[in-house]
Chains A and B, each alone.
Chain A
Amino acid sequence: MPMLEVRNLTKIYEMGFVRKRRMVAVNDISFDIKEGEIVSLVGESGSGKTTTAKIILRLLPPTSGNVIFEGKDIWRDIKTHEELKEYWKKVHAVFQDPYASYNPFYRIDRVLHQALELMGIDPRSTEGRNMIKEALLYVGLNPDDILGKYSHQLSGGQRQRIMIARCWLLKPKLIVADEPVSMIDASMRGAIIKLFMQLRDDYKTTTIFITHDLGLAYYVSDRILVMYRGKIVDQGAPDELIKKPTHEYTKRLLESVPTLYKKWTWE
């Protein structure tokens, strides 16, 4: 049984008050994700990839269709606040702007404390403090440099690593990462990407990567889904996809992504 099943998912945004305009953001998409898989949703801006992520995270209700996580329909079967908390323990989000994920008035320790509280561990107990230290070490940060600071005192790479340390604490089954490295300097990206792969290797953490960067998707994923205008138009293993793209859009995308080792002919 797949860990996550997305069935005929559709999201229509309605705009305007009197005369309503409809925009189909996600148009009848279906896919499965197995445990331990890293799957990328690739598409340009407006292709519906973030809308899909938000529906899976249970932040945005779908217009129709189902999202089934571990056999439960998350939009039908989760009713109480307790159940929702349980779901968010298992499914964690990492967003694009690591600065926006923090409240600037609190020390960054707070996001880690909240994670522990969600698990019912007192963050001030010895156990809790040790877990926080262990989590920061896991993501390659020195706890003494980090704890007690405010988010503006840290670099983008450090902030994003702390979000992943939070993931390590909660050990979610599924991480939904929406453009997690696009605001991080090129020389630091590798470290962040490796952390997601490390989590998968150590804990079989399943990851959905939402990105516009085909190069990133190619490197991290086991499978790539290409979204275009709300539909999944192409999918496959990375090497298969770049060698034999089936849809016209994927072909055009592959022709347009600048490559490092092959030079364009500029026809």
Chain B
Amino acid sequence: MSSLVSELENVRAYYRQSFGNITRVVRVVDGVSLKIFEGDIVGIVGESGCGKSTLANVMMMNIKPPLQFVDGAVRLYAGDNILELNKLPIEVLRERVWGEEIAIIPQAALNALMPTIRIRRLILDIVKSHDPDVDENEVISRAVKRFKEIGLPEHVINMYPFELSGGMRQRVVIAVATLLNPRLLIADEPTSALDVITQKMVLKTLVDVYKIGIIKSIVFITHDIATVRQIASRIVVMYAGKIVEDGPVEDIIAKPLHPYTDGLIRSVLTPEEEVRKRGIKHIPGQPPDLANPPPGCRFHPRCPFAMDICRREEPPAVEVEKGRFVACWLYMKR
């Protein structure tokens, strides 16, 4: 088995909202355990509001109010060192961890690039925040080399973000995020604002930085299962702040176990004959309010197979086949 890169153990992270003296606690990440191994490309899928973006921030321990880290452990395996990210102060995370060990590509690439400075300045600023005495020429030549590796023209480095197309910008962000060769790259909906032809180009760039070994593992967060199917080796399905299913991509697409995963996959429309044969399904109802989630399994109010136990007790994640985990009472041996 390959080595661990990142591990979450029973993590809880809540949003605390106050209106006067009323406090609402939104349990967005609620008891999540997840292991990312070297060589993994993990696709985290779920509907909007299921906590997948918050999970990305928790993996980096990028916790800003109103988000609060409640309990659990976030570990990062850097060679022989095990970093307990949830115990490190923010300055250490900023200087030593973010960018060097773990990096994120945010959803809106335009917002990630400061519009009034050239890409060159931006890169220098970022690298200097890690090492103030770095040799500027060396940084630039390294950046140019990285641009070439992912198929961006060299002169991009002297351009302003607004002079670039959406796809180019997103690729600049990928180049910048991977400049310090982080072990783990988290991509949060990196293609959702782009048209499909550009999307494929950006996905290809991500696969390339992985294949040439710049990064060891990718966590890809998206609502689009078809994209995950193309890029990932493993799918993690989130529903209402919890992981409901985790397993190899091919297996989950061919035979989803959790009723939610099944509904989600059957609602995907792609231009393929199989889709027409399979038909389209929808899941009745709406995701629960995470300030007041239902007892037992959080999916039970929408689940066609809900039993008594589902309404009372929360299902644990069990390994039904090698590498396939599902949290559903239907698969518990009793």
A residues engaging B (CB < 8 A)?
A: 44-45, 155, 157, 185-191, 193-194, 212-219, 238-239, 242, 252-264, 266
Residue of A nearest to B47 (CB): A185
Task: Report B-chain residues with C-beta under 8 Å of the C-beta of A187.
Answer: 47, 263-264, 267, 282-283
Are the CB atoms of A255 and B267 closer together than 8 Å?
A: no
A259-B197 in contact given A185-B48, A190-B282, A191-B282 (Cβ < 8 Å): no
A258 contacts B272, CB within 8 Å? Answer: no
Instruction: Decide if B47 touches A218 in the complex (CB within 8 Å).
Output: no
What distance in Å separates the Cβ of A255 from its nearest Cβ neighbour in chain B? 7
Rounded to whole Å, the gap between the CB of A215 and the closest CB of chain B is 4
Q: List 12 A-B contacts (CB under 8 A).
A: A44-B196, A186-B264, A187-B283, A215-B271, A256-B200, A258-B270, A259-B226, A260-B268, A260-B272, A261-B274, A264-B230, A266-B204
Closest-by-CB residue of A relative to B263 is A187
CB-contacts of B227-244 with A (<8 A): 227, 229-230
Q: Which residues of B contact A256 (CB under 8 A)?
A: 196-197, 199-200
Tell me the minimal C-beta distance from B194 to chain A in angstroms: 10
Given contacts A187-B47, A188-B282, A260-B265, contact A214 B195 (CB under 8 A): no
Question: Distance in Å from the Cβ of B108 to the closest Cβ of chain A?
Answer: 16
Interface residues of B in 281-301 (CB under 8 A from A): 281-284, 286-287
- Give chain A nearest CB distance to B190 CB in angstroms: 13
Contacts of A266 in B (CB 8 A): 204, 207
**Contact among A213, A238, A242, A253 for B197, CB-based, below 8 A:** A253
Q: CB distance B268 to A212 under 8 Å?
A: no
* A244–chain B nearest beta-carbon distance, Å: 13
Q: Give complex CA distance A258, B267 in Å.
A: 15
Which residues from chain B contact A191 at a C-beta distance below 8 Å? 282, 284
* B332: Cβ under 8 A from any A Cβ: no
Chain A residues within 8 Å of B307, by CB: none
Q: Does B333 contact A (CB under 8 A)?
A: no
The reply to whether B271 and A238 form a contact with Cβ atoms under 8 Å apart is yes
Find out whether the CB atom of A218 lies under 8 angstroms from the CB atom of B282.
Answer: no
A263 B229 Cβ-Cβ under 8 A? yes
Verify A212–B195 contact, CB threshold 8 A.
yes
Q: Is B225 an interface residue (CB 8 A)?
A: yes
In the complex, the 4 A-B pairs of residues with the closest C-beta atoms, listed nearest first: A190-B282, A215-B269, A258-B226, A218-B271
Q: Which of A44, A190, A253 is the one whose CB lies under 8 Å from B281?
A: A190
Taking CB atoms, residues of chain A closer than 8 Å to B226 are 215, 257-260
Identify which of A185, A189, A260 contacts B270 (C-beta below 8 A). Answer: A260
Which of A219, A258, A259 is within 8 Å of B276, CB to CB? A219
Partner of B271, one of A155, A157, A194, A242: A242
Interface membership of B38, Cβ < 8 A = no
B273 at the interface (CB under 8 A from A): yes
Question: Interface centre among A189, A219, A242, by most B CB within 10 Å?
Answer: A219
> Is B112 close to A, CB under 8 A?
no
**B228 → chain A, closest Cβ, in Å?**
8
- Which chain A positions have C-beta within 8 A of B83? none
B253 at the interface (CB under 8 A from A): yes
Nearest A residue to B239 by beta-carbon distance?
A: A187
Interface centre among A238, A239, A260, A266 (most CB of B within 10 A): A260
Extra pairs beyond A186-B268, A257-B196, A259-B270 (18, CB < 8 Å):
A185-B47, A186-B264, A188-B267, A218-B269, A218-B276, A219-B269, A219-B280, A238-B271, A242-B271, A256-B199, A257-B226, A258-B227, A258-B229, A259-B229, A260-B270, A261-B272, A261-B275, A266-B207
**Does chain A have a CB within 8 A of B224?**
yes
Complex contacts, A259 vs chain B, CB 8 Å? 226, 229-230, 270-272
Please name all residues of chain B whose beta carbon is closer than 8 Å to the beta carbon of A45 when the two chains form the complex. Answer: 195
Measured between alpha carbons, how far is A44 from B283 in the docked complex, in Å?
29
Q: Is B130 an interface residue (CB 8 A)?
A: no
The CA-CA distance from A219 to B267 in the complex, in Å, is 11
Name the A residues within 8 Å of B263 (CB-CB): 187
Chain B residue with minimal CB distance to A266?
B207
Could you tell me the distance in whole angstroms from the C-beta of A104 to the nearest C-beta in chain B? 20
A191 to B263, CA, bound (A): 12
Shortest CB-to-CB span from A223 to chain B, Å, is 14
Q: Is the CB of B197 within 8 A of A44?
A: yes
Interface centre among A155, A190, A191, A253 (most CB of B within 10 A): A190
Of residues 61 through 118 on chain B, the ones whose CB sits less than 8 Å from some CB of chain A are none
Instruction: Tell me the nearest residue of chain B to A216, going by C-beta.
Output: B269
Closest to B45 in A: A186
Closest to B273 in A: A239
- Give the complex CA separation of A171 and B229 in angstroms: 40
Q: A197 to chain B: closest CB distance in Å?
A: 10
B99-141 CB contacts (< 8 Å) to partner A:
none
